[in-house]
Structure 1
Amino acid sequence: MDSSILQDSQSNAPAKPVQREHSECMGILRPIRDALDVLNGKWKLPIIVALTFGEKRFGEISREVHGITDRVLSKELQDLVMNGLVKRTVTDTFPVKVTYALTPHSESLQEVIDSLRKWGVLHRTYLQNEDRKAS
């Protein structure tokens, strides 16, 4: 997305409001909505982050993504597989071994995840500073 839409390119200050056409607004919102539909909820990105450290079995993911239930993890993994972000591999052994790994397509999320992490750190610092001001 063109960063000039949200901020002045000469500084980090918010851009002055500009009158925009409805079609331009929809051209910005539609792909954002599409992305949020795929990554919705509080579990998909943590699952993806857990898998950035390599292929994992269901139980390993469950232990790394604290607070998620097995039922929710199963559903979220199905959604991620359906959207082409995670690959599920079944190895014909006894017992059957099922592993999950990121697909090459999921690499396109790296910049998004890095940006969210940086913003999360910034926001946490902001809130901590606001708490100090209120005290």
Structure 2
Amino acid sequence: MDICLIARVKLKESFCEDFTEKIYDFKCYDENVDIDDLVLVDTQYGVAVGKVVNFRLDGSNAKKEVICKCDTTDFNFRKNKREELKTLKEKMDMKVKNLQELAVYEMLSKEDKELSDLLDKYKEIYKDLKE
């Protein structure tokens, strides 16, 4: 028979909530499962997601077992890339908005002397702030 450790696991009650404080014992035959890993476990209510908090050797109370370790590496990579894209798009949108406003002011200032004078003053003050 395979070597079995007892994984002590906190379960998620639902997808919206954090892990419970209560710790449950599950037989664990996978040597690659470590503390803080997310795991799928077989419970009396079906499959659940849990987080390993520690291990122990004696497991007379453990009746159910760890099904597998959840590898979230690819998911986390995609999630981080989506967040990075969102941030870049927000920065680009802000830059475009500012450039569009300036282009409109430039175009309209050719038709209106007062707007042209205001825009020149604006550019002068803006230039002083950047220096």
Higher relative CO (Cα under 8 Å, sequence separation at least 6) belongs to 2
TM-score by length of 2: 0.28
Q: Which of the two has higher C-alpha Rg? A: 2
Per residue, is there more strand in 1 or in 2?
A: 2
> Greater helix share, 1 or 2?
1
